[in-house]
Amino acid sequence: MSSKSSKKTTEEILNDSDFQSLSSQKNTISIILTILELVLYFGFIGLIAFNKPFLAQKFSGSITIGIPIAVCTIFFSWVLTGIYIFWANNKYDVLVKKVREKIGG
């Protein structure tokens, strides 16, 4: 196969509506989840940096408010990962299969 026909095939794939939909959806979910994770993480770090007295307040016994907030930060990071996995298994993989069937891959 010549490189010219390979390039044509690549261009056809890149211009395919299903491939463009796949790429667009992947970018959208990735950007949204990344922004949510950054807000969550840097929000927690900002709270540590700018409001230590709030985090140092006693919650129960020797446990401060900062500990449950830190645990929730980690937990919600797992939730965001789970959302991506759920999306990838139910949407992304289906679209990848459809594009592969179209191009014969």
Residue spans of the domains in the chain: they are 18-103
| pTM over cut 0.85 | no
Contact (Cβ atoms closer than 8 angstroms) between residue 72 and residue 66: no
- Confidence band for 105, pLDDT divided at 50, 70 and 90: low
Rounded to the nearest integer, the mean pLDDT of the chain is 88
CB atoms within 10 A of CB 48: 14
Contact (Cβ atoms closer than 8 angstroms) between residue 55 and residue 48: yes
Cα 64 to Cα 46, 59, 89, distances in angstroms: 17, 5, 39
29-41 pLDDT, tens digit per residue, is: 999 999 999 999 9
